[in-house]
Amino acid sequence: MKIMQTTTPSNSLQSFEEHESEVRSYIRAFPAVFERAQGSQLFDERGQAYLDFFSGAGALNYGHNHPQLKQELMDYLAGDGITHSLDMATGAKRHFIDKFQSVVLEPRQMEYRLLFPGPTGTNAVEAALKLARKSTGRSTVFAFQGGFHGMTLGSLAITSNTMKRGGAGQALSHTRLLPFDGEMKDGMDSLTFLQNALETAQREGELPAAVVLETVQCEGGVRVASAHWLRGVERLCRQAGVLLIVDDIQAGCGRTGRFFSFEESGVRPDIVCLSKSLSGLGIPFSLVLLRPELDVFQPGEHNGTFRGHNLAFVTAASALSFWEDHRFQRTVAAKALLLQDRLDSLVESQPELEMEVRGRGLVQGIVFEDQELAGQVAKECFARGLIIETAGHHDEVLKFLPALTMDVALLEQGLEVVEASLQAVASQLPQESVLV
Ligand SMILES: Cc1ncc(COP(=O)(O)O)c(C=O)c1O
């Protein structure tokens, strides 16, 4: 295998530190120079192996360089397949559209049009917001505290993290953030709060165009909405004539067990945003699904140079084949059970760390009462060769995002590293905070 030659084959971060913007972030948590990866393992330039519980923040649900996806891409490139086409027709694009129809939409009796926005998740959210506003003629959008939808101005306006919002350098308007499932505000549960907000907006002639939500707020700290709450939000939207947009960018593509994260709840969003693991190989690719009545853009009214990407069409179509077979879904469910069980035992075995487990499917989190500890545990994990990130408004959650395809043996191995890291952090706690 040909590996990129560098002048400093020593995990040196000097070039990044001297020349890259201060905005760089994950490189600070995982300070190594990564060279190659396969399945759930990455290797740095010194050949050191790392287990991956991060999966490119959810962009690698099928692991790194899945052999089937990689082969299809190599064949396509070897055959001089079209790599760039704007939104002209290509065989690769048609194959993806037909496969998405037959593997995802038809079996679920879903009728959506497919809109390919720019390649990143935030491009999908922006397109969804524009569609909702244009089709309803209303400009306000409701979203939820703890939600994360991307860094461009429209998506940032419905993202609640104050540090990220601060990066805008301008007012973020035409949005309102409401309490999420499980949160109370003004003595009201979140559904009653939403109902009141919609009724007030209706009385004042200021109904929002849409309500946008994540079924699991992954970046927000693995906060899971119940099926009851999701159905409640859908009912309130329908009653008020407001669109429901599900941002399934991180929780979708099988992360919670089924292809869409809202399937189990029975909710039928008006618009769905997909990205991250849709291409299956980490190639930037996004898709907006919309009810046919909402298909209101004029030809070219929402365009872009990288709207739809042929290399991603190839790998995404190939990745859909995993969903043709129910066995895949069953293996994800089995691994999710194993992960939940093991996390429950870990949390019980270290009561002095005051932790709680929450999550759905293969997105799980350990929430620490002491907000500093999640970062310390992640750091200990990295020192032991495991890549795992933190999430939540204060980075108080250790977030587990293994590939859906991760070998059970490697999953167990990663959990052993987490256990050792928890023990290391517990042993450094000041004596008075130890309960026993
Ligand atoms: C739910 C959700 N929506 C949108 C985005 C933005 O995607 P991108 O970073 O590709 O713009 C993310 C990214 O983490 C996300 O988790």
286: its two tokens: 């996004």
- Residue 250's nearest CA partner among 406, 361, 351 is 361
> Residue 38's beta-bridge partner residues?
41
- Structure confidence at residue 3 (pLDDT): 52
- Quick check: 291 and 79 in contact, CB under 8 A? no
Q: Is 126 in the pocket of ligand 1 (CB under 6 A)?
A: no
CB burial of residue 60 (10 Å; 0-12, 13-18, 19+): buried
CA distances from 43 to 24, 48, 53, 65, 372 (A): 21, 5, 14, 13, 28
Q: Is 150 in the pocket of ligand 1 (CB under 6 A)?
A: yes
Q: What string of pLDDT tens digits covers the 436 residues of the chain?
A: 555 555 556 889 999 999 999 999 999 999 999 999 999 999 999 999 999 999 999 999 999 999 999 999 999 999 999 999 999 999 999 999 999 999 999 999 999 999 999 999 999 999 999 999 999 999 999 999 999 999 999 999 999 999 999 999 999 999 999 999 999 889 999 999 999 999 999 999 999 999 999 999 999 999 999 999 999 999 999 999 999 999 999 999 999 999 999 999 999 999 999 999 999 999 999 999 999 999 999 999 999 999 989 999 999 999 999 999 899 999 999 999 999 999 999 999 999 999 999 999 999 999 999 999 999 999 999 999 999 999 999 999 999 999 999 999 999 999 999 999 999 999 999 876 555 4
- Structure confidence at residue 131 (pLDDT): 98
- Quick check: 323 and 102 in contact, CB under 8 A? no
Q: Is 149 in the pocket of ligand 1 (CB under 6 A)?
A: yes
- Structure confidence at residue 7 (pLDDT): 55
- Structure confidence at residue 436 (pLDDT): 45
76: its two tokens: 């396509």
Question: Where do the domains of the chain lie, and which CATH numbers do they carry?
Answer: 14-65+326-433 (3.90.1150.10), 68-324 (3.40.640.10)
The angle formed by the CA atoms of residues 326, 246 and 111, to the nearest 5 degrees, is: 60
CB atoms within 10 A of CB 330: 11
Q: Which residues contact 22 (CB under 8 A, 6 or more apart)?
A: none
Calculate how far, in angstroms, residue 288's C-alpha sits from the geometric centre of ligand 1.
Answer: 13
**3-class SS at 22?**
coil
> Residue 389's beta-bridge partner residues?
399
253: its two tokens: 């593509």
Give the C-alpha separation, 147 to 315, whole Å. Answer: 29
The pTM is what?
0.96
Q: Which atom of ligand 1 is nearest to the CA of 57?
A: 14
Calculate how far, in angstroms, residue 148's C-alpha sits from the geometric centre of ligand 1.
Answer: 7
The 10 Å CB-count burial string (b at 16+, else e) for 180-219 is bbeeeeeeebbbbbbbebbeebeeeeebbbbbbbbbbbbb
Q: Is 153 in the pocket of ligand 1 (CB under 6 A)?
A: no
- Structure confidence at residue 9 (pLDDT): 67
Calculate how far, in angstroms, residue 345's C-alpha sits from the geometric centre of ligand 1.
Answer: 31
